[in-house]
Chains A and B, each alone.
Chain A
Amino acid sequence: MDKKQYERPIIKSLNNGVMNKFGTRNEYAALTHIEGVPVKSLLQEYGSPLFVISERKIRENYRNAKRIFETRYPKVQFAWSYKTNYLNAVCNTFHQEGSWAEVVSRFEYEKAIKNGVPGDKILFNGPDKTDSDLRLSIKNNSPIHIDHLDELYRLTEIATGMDKKPRVAIRVNMDTGIYPMWDRFGFNYENGQAWDAINKIMASGKLNLVGLHCHIGTFMLTPSAYGVAASKLSELALSIKHQYNKDITYLDLGGGFASKNTLKGSLLPGSDSVPEIYEYAEAITTAILNAGFQPDDLPYLYLETGRALVDDAGFLLGSVISNKRLSDGRRATIMDFGVNIMFTSFWYDHKISPAQEFGQHTEDTILYGPLCMNIDVVRENITLPPLKPGDQVVVHHMGAYNISQSMQFISLRPAIVMIDNDKKVHLIKAAETLETLEKGEVLPEYLKEFNI
């Protein structure tokens, strides 16, 4: 007979009146294994907290998305958005599946080159590209996605001195029917800036306009907005063909597909309310196919999907530090992970599962992180079974942004492991130590001695 799990007593306020539609049933199941590997053993071997990534899920997500788009449009290419998760193991998994790279900064660009991505398969986005960045991109034949006129002028000047003609695209922003409209990146379509930029590029004769790029938002809940964006980009491409007899090689619709996380304030959980990938695919592909391109001139469709491909492939494992009862009686539990490594908790209500079996009693709790800062709140309100110090939990859908946006604040950054297709565990990033933290620090001589 198994030893019974001890559960501390709970105080539950009784509601008079009608039971709410969500009932009192506990919906959370314990998640004791990830891809067949026990959570307990992972935390024991690699420490707590711990990021776990499932290679199988990454590949499944990519192949799924690829199939959905390729059965609707003849020419599709995905480019992995490095800023979403730039761990080399994750990036190379995508590259192995056939994905290119999309970067927004010099270090991401160098990371992609170091990983072995051919220069002409790295899409360089972003408003901050130095002259040296531009020169390197031109040398490597990487498509440069121009964000503003100053960049265009600088690029034209630099191109004059180089023997290769830079391959460029312009980023376009437009009214896609949603609010808020992002107009800080790229050139606006409606007021003519985009067409102006195109004319400047074609007139200079120094740049090779190969594509048009847009990235209309993030965590988009209305697929039809993509349809509008695709139509407007197509219109631009057709105008270019009409005026300059130049074929635009590709339309880059960027990223922004929603993942299965639940936005704060959302009524239903993300897995039920977020659009499926095929809805975005329908909107985009139908718009381009109906735009009026000649059958032989259909442009390539590039996608920079990030979150939708990697979010549900990542988990965060953690442990309970302590429990508290707040001054007004609310229960609070303090975890060893907080906003320092869960930056996305500012806008998501993450799904959290206990990692050990529990009974049927649950309690409304606030989850705090380990930081000594008031804003460090993981969940304002969550229904969990009573947890005691040392109990372990699994946070779902942590693959996107959390790792790349982790702070080295108060807590050292944790280790990251990846479970491969054969259920073997690989350490893909070691936990930070004081040494790695202080690596770049230089202490001036005169400050070495002190007398307290």
Chain B
Amino acid sequence: MNTNNSNTLLKVYGNGLLNSYSQIFFSNNKTFAVLLLIISFFDLGAGLSGVLSVIISQITAKLFNFNEELIKDGTYTYNTLMVGIALGMFYDFNFSFFVILVITSILTLFITIWFITVLAKKGLPFLSLPFLFGIWIIILGAPNFSALQLNPKEILSLAKWFPELFSSVTNSIGSLPFADVIHLYFRSLGAIFFQYNDLAGLIIAIGILIYSRIAFGLSIVGFSIGFAFYHFFGGDFSQLIYSYIGFNFILTAIALGGFFVVPSKKSYLMLFFIIPVIALSISSLHTLFSYIGLPLYSLPFNIITIIFLATMATRSKDSGITLVTLQQFSPEKNHYKHLNSVNRFKNNTYYHLHLPVMGEWHISQGHNGVITHKEDWQYAWDFDVLDEDKKSYQSPGNDLKDYFCYDLPVVASSEGYIVEIFDGIEDNKINEVNLKKNWGNTIIIKHGEHFYTKLSHIKKGSFKVKKGDYVTKGQVIASCGSSGRSPEPHLHFQLQTTPYIDSKTIEFPLAYYLRKENNKYHFHCFDIPKENEIVSNVKTTKLLTEAFDFVPGKTFYFNYKGKKVKWEVLPTQ
């Protein structure tokens, strides 16, 4: 029991510590976290106080019984980590320092939790606002206490002990084209960890690449746009170089290009507008804050990102820029999840329609078919049944009964009321057509207001229902025939908004069906079957539908390839 407890303790706090590092870059990738941990120790003091501040915050959070999940995923502590690193970077280790460290860590923790309560309700992230508030409070307040001796110190940097390591990176970059830009990029990356050197930035860049190609690409795109803006508009580069706050471009690009927004062409294009806004806000805030005497750090990124996300949430339509609903902590996964859900639920339309037949049928004429599905009646399907040799009849094929689909049951595509039945028209002999009554025997079903389906060329006298009857989905209503404009037995199926026999058709998808190709079945949802496809309804049993109804509170236990998997259904928040 004790080992169990200590194991979970280690899991929660160990994960919490590592995640604090990667969360700064919107990631929970452990390899990346370890790399960042190493980089933070390029200055021993900074690294140590970073770890200490996280531990202090975790203990505090635990003592006050705050949410353990948020301790474990680093949400509570990534801002305190940044505060700890900053303090350790710039101040000497003495008794006063440790006092300040403890106070600031706890303060930042509580500011973090406060921001969660305020912003999370609106669905907005707090990014690094707690860090900014924490560090500003210290910078502004601490000097007033003369007893507290905070001395700027010699940087206990790794660079002092291994100068060759750092200079070699700098020199090799120097030999590349666009060396200035590259230097600026790496140093801006490193600046997020208060490491103003190329080596740190290089390692961070590699770490980002490990965790996500998209995030890496976005960091380059974002930085380039920002740099280009400064360059072409003659911006004051000293601002960018002073504390390498170009990392605002990088963080914004990752956040709005692939983390909070589903990465897509449009999200990338949008950056061309947003990054210049960041550039402007850097410049304006820089001026403002130099009066106050506070460093800017990531304030532009925080303000612009939160404003953007808040405004985007008020739209009524998606317009290509989609906010991520269930965070996957990976731009790639956000992208794939989004594509998947669009595919499955894209037309979560009110009426679910199914194929009006049983078994596998062939679409002999589809939408905009050349024979008869034109103009007002373009959105219609003709069905027949083929055998293994792709023939619709057995030899000789002179008689109606030779055709496989003749007399087969026709079912209701969805539940509804029968509004019209036209009967009494003889089935044609093979190759003869009835042009006077070209629809043949027909049945029209009303599924909802302005929503009807029509089935034509029905076999004379085969209707099993009458006008006014209520039918359920899949109920047999008639038999396939060859009446009307039908040279050989087939079924005509269309959707329309009015209940007349010659109503115009509307384009509308079927809810679910299977398409057979080369003996393999492909699943389609909210799609329109095309000409020459072999389609069939999805078969289901009550056991399956009842087993897989996702009622909140239900827990599923699976045995998948020897591994035990557990799913729990939680109510949406």
Say yes or no: A71-B360 contact (C-beta < 8 A), given A63-B388, A289-B476, A295-B472.
yes
Bound complex: CA A71 to CA B535 (Å): 12
10 examples of A-B residue contacts, CB within 8 angstroms: A63-B387, A64-B387, A67-B404, A71-B361, A71-B385, A71-B405, A71-B408, A296-B542, A296-B545, A297-B542
Tell me the A269-317 residues at the B interface (CB within 8 Å). Answer: 282, 285, 289, 295-297, 300
Query: Is the beta-carbon distance between A67 and B541 smaller than 8 angstroms?
Result: no
Q: 1/0 contact trace for A53-96 toward B, CB 8 Å?
A: 00000001001100101111111000000000000000000000
Q: Is B358 at the interface (CB under 8 A from chain A)? A: yes
Bound complex: CA A207 to CA B388 (Å): 42
Query: Is the beta-carbon distance between A71 and B387 smaller than 8 angstroms?
Result: no
A residues contacting the other copy or chain, number (CB 8 A)? 20
Q: Is A175 at the interface (CB under 8 A from chain B)? A: no
Bound complex: CA A296 to CA B541 (Å): 8
Bound complex: CA A74 to CA B356 (Å): 12
- Apart from A67-B359, A297-B542, list 11 A-B contacts with CB within 8 A: A64-B387, A67-B360, A70-B359, A70-B360, A70-B536, A71-B385, A71-B404, A74-B539, A285-B409, A295-B475, A296-B542
Q: Is A247 at the interface (CB under 8 A from chain B)? A: yes
Query: Is the beta-carbon distance between B475 and A72 smaller than 8 angstroms?
Result: no
Residue of B358, B388, B545 near A74 (CB, 8 A) is B358
Query: How far is the CB of A230 from the nearest CB of chain B, in Å?
Result: 15
Q: What B residues does A73 contact at CB under 8 A?
A: 358
Q: What B residues does A156 contact at CB under 8 A?
A: none
Residue of B360, B475, B539 near A75 (CB, 8 A) is B539
Identify the interface centre among A247, A289, A297: most chain B CB within 10 Å of its CB: A289
Say yes or no: A67-B408 contact (C-beta < 8 A), given A75-B539, A295-B473.
no
Q: Is B357 at the interface (CB under 8 A from chain A)? A: yes
The 8 closest A-B pairs by CB, nearest first: A70-B359, A71-B359, A295-B472, A71-B408, A74-B358, A295-B474, A63-B388, A289-B476
Residue of A60, A71, A247 near B358 (CB, 8 A) is A71
Query: Is the beta-carbon distance between A72 and B404 smaller than 8 angstroms?
Result: no
Minimal Cβ-Cβ distance residue in B for A297: B542
Q: Is B537 at the interface (CB under 8 A from chain A)? A: yes
Q: What A residues does B475 contact at CB under 8 A?
A: 295
Q: Is A208 at the interface (CB under 8 A from chain B)? A: no
Q: What A residues does B361 contact at CB under 8 A?
A: 71
B residues contacting the other copy or chain, number (CB 8 A)? 25
Query: How far is the CB of B385 from the nearest CB of chain A, in Å?
Result: 6
Query: How far is the CB of B491 from the nearest CB of chain A, in Å?
Result: 11
Q: Is A105 at the interface (CB under 8 A from chain B)? A: no
Tell me the B524-567 residues at the A interface (CB within 8 Å). Answer: 536-537, 539, 541-543, 545
Query: How far is the CB of B544 from the nearest CB of chain A, in Å?
Result: 11
Query: Is the beta-carbon distance between B542 and A72 smaller than 8 angstroms?
Result: no
Tell me the B370-406 residues at the A interface (CB within 8 Å). Answer: 385, 387-388, 404-405
Tell me the A211-230 residues at the B interface (CB within 8 Å). Answer: none
Q: What A residues does B545 contact at CB under 8 A?
A: 296
Minimal Cβ-Cβ distance residue in B for A299: B541
Bound complex: CA A63 to CA B541 (Å): 23
Q: What A residues does B541 contact at CB under 8 A?
A: 75, 249, 300
Query: Is the beta-carbon distance between A289 and B409 smaller than 8 angstroms?
Result: yes
Bound complex: CA A295 to CA B387 (Å): 28
Q: What B residues does A297 contact at CB under 8 A?
A: 542
Query: Is the beta-carbon distance between A247 and B472 smaller than 8 angstroms?
Result: no
Minimal Cβ-Cβ distance residue in B for A295: B472
Query: How far is the CB of A282 from the nearest CB of chain B, in Å?
Result: 8
Residue of A60, A69, A296 near B388 (CB, 8 A) is A60
Bound complex: CA A202 to CA B167 (Å): 84
Q: What A residues does B543 contact at CB under 8 A?
A: 249
Q: What B residues does A75 contact at CB under 8 A?
A: 539, 541
Q: What B residues does A296 contact at CB under 8 A?
A: 542, 545
Query: Is the beta-carbon distance between A71 and B357 smaller than 8 angstroms?
Result: yes
Q: What B residues does A64 contact at CB under 8 A?
A: 387-388
